[in-house]
Amino acid sequence: MSATSPHGDPSVDFLPFTRPSIDEQTIAGVVEVLRSGWITTGPWNARFEQALSEYFGGRTVRAFSSGTVTMEIALRMMGVGPGDEVITTPLSWVATANVILAVGARPVFVDIDPRTRNLDAARVEAAVGERTRVLLPVHLAGLPCDLDALYALAQRHGLRVLEDAAQAIGSRWRGRRVGAFGDYASFSFHPNKNATSIEGGCLVLPPDADPALAERYRLQGVRRFGVDGMDVDLVGGKANLTDVAARVGWGQLQQVDAFNARRRELALAYFAHFDALGLEARGVLLPPRDETDSNWHMFQVVLPPQVPRADVMQALKQRGIGSGVHYPPIHLFSLYRKLGFAPGDFPHAERVGSGILTLPLFPDMRDADVPRVAQALSAVLRESGV
């Protein structure tokens, strides 16, 4: 099912850069939840958490209202607060760093590997200091970070790890599913993710974490006992997942591996068409193609420095093709400049962030959509002199 062009031409199908795939069985299931009379956190939330636990190899999982609050709660559970430092990447959705500020700690950015666009594990050790408490790597676009190197470093220095796996459900590291091993791992179920619960997220807990503590942070710090007993012993929030959202998430989880297989087919088709068009020789940087363990959450190219990205995006839109920017470097936002970060601090992240462009990739795309996008991008770049 496709929308018409944003310019109103019904003869041109508009191809968004992403769109969720919700099947009729899930829609019918949501109707059943609405009719049940129990639409907030209840039996479907418990069922969703159990299914997630099975998906992640039997680990304990708790569901939340977003994949942002999951990271904040993980940091609170680890005792991170004022005076502490958390090492992370400057190339991510700003939530990755905002949650560090939210608990009173300070983000310490480390530049990316320009090939993978992930945190450069080789640079991390130099950033570890007396106040470092946590490593917070991001699996950008679903491509896993070098988890062997990061966990080895964490063990050497006695650090915790919180994986921002918002985009990585179904991704694998050396054959092992991301989230099925390691320390804390946070996933998002936002509508643009490989599996959605409309809004929502989950936190995979390590063996030494107390699930009841996660639950208290999730709902106002409340602890219940007996038939009518209640106590509050910490400042919690309002971050529970509704049963309506959980039913959508449960239905999506049954299909996510098939969704990811289709995404990989489309990604390989992009590479084939871009190779035929010679885009790399023309200065376009493609994502790593030799990584078999990505879930291909996004297909992102990096445009040549001389090509204005906004012009390319507008020209693609005029051809009925959507695109996105994921992401501008966090340290260049005003909030982070006030903390002392400045242009030139992380040149690889700045280069990638200034030219990165997300192209359409979602399971319901038609095979013919890939050459359409590839040829359109090639033509737009040619018009720009590339």
In this structure, are residues 31 and 174 in contact, taking their beta carbons and an 8 Å threshold? no
Query: ∠ at Cα 163 (159, 168), nearest 5°?
Result: 160
In this structure, are residues 312 and 303 in contact, taking their beta carbons and an 8 Å threshold? yes
Burial class (CB in 10 A: 0-12, 13-18, 19+), 250: buried
Choose among 376, 326, 378: nearest CA to 352.
Answer: 326
Cα 360 to Cα 23, 191, 277, 299, 301, distances in angstroms: 20, 14, 18, 7, 11
In this structure, are residues 293 and 171 in contact, taking their beta carbons and an 8 Å threshold? yes
CB crowding 199-220: b at 16 or more within 10 Å, else e: bbbbbbbbeebeeebbbbbbee
Assign 3-class secondary structure to 266-280.
HHHHHHHHHHHHCCH
Catalytic residue among 193, 238, 317, 338: 193
| Beta partners for residue 173, in sequence order | 176
193 is catalytic: yes
Residue 184: asked if its preceding bond is cis (omega within 30°), the reply is: no
In this structure, are residues 307 and 322 in contact, taking their beta carbons and an 8 Å threshold? no
Residue 126 corresponds to which amino acid? A
Q: How remote is the C-alpha of 237 from its chain's centroid?
A: 22
Q: What is the dihedral of CA 280, 364, 194, 309, to 10 degrees?
A: 40
Q: Which residues belong to the active site?
A: 193
